[in-house]
Structure 1
Amino acid sequence: MKLLSSVLTILSIAVCAGPTVATAGSDFKKGVNISHWLAQHAPGHYATAERFEAEDAAWIADHGFDHVRIPVDGRILMSIEGKLITELLQPLDQALEWCRAHDLGVILDMHYLPGNEFLNDAADNALWSDPDLRAAAASLWTQVATHYRDVGPWLRYEILNEAVAPENEDLNILNQLIVDAIRTVDATRVLYVSSNRWGQFQTVPDLRLFDDPNVHYALHTYEPFLFTHQNTSWTPLKDIPAGAVTFPGGIEVASDSPLAAQMMKEHHTLAVTLERADVAAHYAPVAAWAREHGVNVVITEFGVYRAADPESTVNWIRANVELCEAAGFGWSVWDYQGGFAIRGPDGEPTAVYRGLFPER
């Protein structure tokens, strides 16, 4: 605890003493992701009302948030002829009206582009090797930016979610291509570009910076993954019992446990200790990078899966929020009513929410 407080103090002093950070868009401080609505939706459930409607925008605004991040599946937005299918944007158009009515900003997050996935075993990742797909991605963004050109600056774009490019420079090239394409029709809107390999902190030093105060940098963190994704069906952590990994704390398994082989493979030990200071150390290099370059950073995804125990969830969320605040980073938590929800099935705030807003 003392080490975390010390790191927070150091970060706060350094942010105050560092270069002046561009202010455009820096008011996006506290957001939430509207997951599995316009991207990653179940078959036949694209834009279904139960995922997001006017009441949800009102609830989010009333509970302390200033923006939402809406993931969109860009792979379905273009016709065979390469034209934007504007009918598929109608649910988003409606959402913009709801959000505007409640003074919520919006990040339109292109969760996928044609030829791009972010899973470890992605079957469709030709974007990085096919120039025609990259041209299609730029064309898609040009058309989307044209469609929303007259919307106010409270709408921002995150140009690609969690890229997994073969090389970090491949993503730099794509970022430049898409930023240039958008700038042909919209010169000043805030755009978010991300680092390679799921927007993780470790690849930030290789990010190519833009000489544009309205290009900001979007990163994701779920570290330690062992805690935030315990018992998730889509990861190797699916066999970890719910609540088995605590924070602060960790996990220790017996040598004859069914988890022993996985623990040795992933962590080379049967006992993993997790501390708040580990999270602080994870943030420190990125905070230093942002100060050095005078750039705006937003953590557009962080969260804890519902299997974690409530107290540990509050602890981890709170540590991340405090570190973001110390570094001057905005954030958008994952997610509204999915597996990492801030709002439970009963409509009430969850442990994730309590970690975000302990005073409410």
Structure 2
Amino acid sequence: MVLRRGISLWPWFSLTREFPAPRTDYDWPPFQSDRPVPTGDDLRRLAEAGFDFVRLPVDPGPFVAATGARRAQLLGQLFSAIDLCLSARLAVVLNLQANAATHHFTPESFYGSTAAPLFGAYRDLVAELARRSGLHAPGRIALEPVNEPPQACGALNWDRVQGVLLGAARAAAPGLTLVATGACGGMASGLTALDPAPIRRLAPVLFSVHFYEPYLFTHQGATWMTGEPFYRALNGVPWPAAQGSLDGTLAAVRARMRADTVTPPAEKAETFRLTEAKLREYFAADPDRRFLDRHLADVKTWADLYGIPAGEILMGEFGALRSDARYVASAPADRARYVRDVREGAEALGFAWAFWNLFDGLGLMDDEHRIDPAIIAALGLRPPAGRPN
């Protein structure tokens, strides 16, 4: 299965309605009704723009929780969605993405180890999806059993977990393309710590890596990174660093923090102190296209070491959050420059790529399903006809 240019379709089969503890089930239907979902026309426009595949993230929780007719209904909905993508001439990478924000069906419970309480049910779901995918559209669907595993880089625990899951998928579907990854969130350091020899015996297999370096740029304003509060305050971080200045970025951070009427002043002051220190490091490092290329070259070196063709490497996620243009006018141009630089760096090494995401703060489309022309151009694609951009 040859992949070149893709895009993720989260949250089509994500954003669930689970009941709070102590319950461990979901409301029905389990997915939020107001989540953004691509239409058939959206998918056709993606193909027209030049994408050749989509990556379809799926929260496994509802599928494991459901039984009988409800489970069959969910599987039917999933493969109907796959058919909609296939009919638009888009291949599909089916990716299971456990939800760390829930209280029961978590990554740790599913695949923290082979002794995890829900590992057996997860393995069985992987095998079932592999079997169905292999029969449904041979050569047009790949299966990625885990997204961003939480184990440490090089962890033997992850090697064992992934080996069992890929083995179950291969036994269920002898010809299905599988997608493997390294530990520590699927980052380059996780992949390059992986011994691919046992996995390559399960060919056809692709190896996925996620790329969001440097995080101070790509995750500026990220509200979900609660363990590192300075990300929430970041704004106006330029790409490349030389495109802006420390003073200008700190002014944008102050403006964003002034707009925050909830956080106590003392907490704001400490957050600003941390943010300023991180930004001084960022501007001192002066990251640019060469910074990106060095990180991507580590993956190519690893692949060459093990004789893995570049075409079997998939940059499964990359992208950057939209910064708040109310505080810095150059934000959209910075984001487009970053996306272009990463995409060109991956292509220069022969890697396939999948942009994150179609919707949300990192998205290609807005809430009105209009495509961002600057990001389409940065991806080296062409604006599709039809709906105005």
Category of TM-score, reference length = shorter chain: 0.7 to 0.9
Q: Label 1:97 to 1:340 Cα distance change in 2 as closer, same or farther (>3 A).
A: same
Conservation of the 8 A alpha-carbon contact between 2:234 and 2:275: no
Offset from partner CA, 1:238-260 (integer Å, 9 cap, x none): 1123x343324365256996554
The aligned counterpart of 2:238 is: 245
Alpha-carbon distance in structure 2 between the residues aligned to 1:42 and 1:238 = 26
The aligned counterpart of 2:100 is: 117
Conservation of the 8 A alpha-carbon contact between 1:153 and 1:189: yes
Conservation of the 8 A alpha-carbon contact between 1:37 and 1:48: no
Shift of 1:140: 1.5
Offset from partner CA, 1:203-255 (integer Å, 9 cap, x none): 223213122331111110111111111112222311123x3433243652569
Matched, 1:279 2:279: no
The aligned counterpart of 1:138 is: 123
SS at match of 1:125: helix
Is the helix fraction higher in 1 or 2?
2
Shift of 1:261: 1.8
Q: Label 1:41 to 1:352 Cα distance change in 2 as closer, same or farther (>3 A).
A: farther
Alpha-carbon distance in structure 1 between the residues aligned to 2:17 and 2:237 = 29
Letter of the 1:212 counterpart: L
Unaligned runs of 5+ in 2: 19-29, 255-268, 325-330, 384-389
The aligned counterpart of 1:261 is: 273
Q: Label 1:271 to 1:260 Cα distance change in 2 as closer, same or farther (>3 A).
A: farther
Offset from partner CA, 1:138-197 (integer Å, 9 cap, x none): 111112223333122110011100001156221111110011111121112110011111
The aligned counterpart of 1:128 is: 112
Shift of 1:132: 4.5
SS at match of 1:90: helix
Percentage of matched positions with identical amino acids: 22
Conservation of the 8 A alpha-carbon contact between 1:162 and 1:196: yes
Matched, 1:171 2:158: yes
Alpha-carbon distance in structure 2 between the residues aligned to 1:51 and 1:247 = 33
Matched, 1:306 2:322: yes
Using the size of structure 2 for normalisation, the TM-score is: 0.76
Offset from partner CA, 1:78-128 (integer Å, 9 cap, x none): 24779992211233211222122121100100011xxx7399xx9762432
The aligned counterpart of 1:7 is: none
The aligned counterpart of 2:354 is: 332
Conservation of the 8 A alpha-carbon contact between 1:157 and 1:190: yes
The aligned counterpart of 1:320 is: 342
Matched, 1:93 2:79: yes
Conservation of the 8 A alpha-carbon contact between 2:8 and 2:55: yes
The aligned counterpart of 2:209 is: 219
Once the two structures are overlaid, the 10-residue window that deviates more, 346-355 or 75-84, is 75-84
Conservation of the 8 A alpha-carbon contact between 1:109 and 1:160: yes
Letter of the 2:185 counterpart: W
Q: Label 1:47 to 1:246 Cα distance change in 2 as closer, same or farther (>3 A).
A: same
Alpha-carbon distance in structure 1 between the residues aligned to 2:173 and 2:5 = 25
Q: State how 1:70-81 maps to structure 2 within 5 Å.
A: 70-79=56-65
**Number of residue pairs the alignment of both structures matches:** 329
Conservation of the 8 A alpha-carbon contact between 1:31 and 1:333: yes
Using the size of structure 1 for normalisation, the TM-score is: 0.81
Alpha-carbon distance in structure 2 between the residues aligned to 1:54 and 1:153 = 21
Once the two structures are overlaid, the 10-residue window that deviates more, 40-49 or 337-346, is 40-49
Conservation of the 8 A alpha-carbon contact between 2:85 and 2:92: yes
Conservation of the 8 A alpha-carbon contact between 1:220 and 1:299: yes
Instruction: Indicate the RMSD between aligned Cα atoms, in angstroms.
Output: 3.0
Q: Label 1:190 to 1:170 Cα distance change in 2 as closer, same or farther (>3 A).
A: same
Q: Label 1:289 to 1:79 Cα distance change in 2 as closer, same or farther (>3 A).
A: same
Q: Label 1:124 to 1:141 Cα distance change in 2 as closer, same or farther (>3 A).
A: closer
- For CA contacts below 8 A with separation 6 or more, give which structure has more relative contact order: 1
Runs of 4+ residues over 6 Å off in structure 1: 80-84, 254-257
